[in-house]
Amino acid sequence: MADEEVSSPLMTPYIYVPLSADAQTRILEIQPSLDPSALVRCMLRDIDIMSEEESGFDALSYI
């Protein structure tokens, strides 16, 4: 099977920027869809782990 790259005009390349504070982390937010055959859409966000506003997320691990 050949490797295929999925591209979209909506995709922008990720440019690494260091986190601005020790109490920050990055989360990958998976966007909901009602279409079971749709591509998985997600957004990488920087969050302040000490903020009450950002305290509501579920962790998922690949380990």
Residue 45 or 53, more confident:
45
pLDDT tens digits, 25-51? 888 888 999 999 999 998 888 988 888
Q: pTM to 2 decimals? A: 0.59
Max CA distance (Å), the chain: 46
User: With contact defined as beta carbons under 8 Å apart, do 13 and 5 qualify?
Assistant: no
Q: What is the pLDDT of residue 62?
A: 73
Instruction: Say yes or no to pLDDT of 5 above 90.
Output: no
Cα distance between residue 16 and residue 56, in whole Å: 25
User: With contact defined as beta carbons under 8 Å apart, do 30 and 40 qualify?
Assistant: yes
pLDDT tens digits, 11-29? 778 889 999 888 898 888 8
Q: Which residues contact 27 (CB under 8 A, 6 or more apart)?
A: 44, 45, 47, 57
- DSSP type of residue 32: P
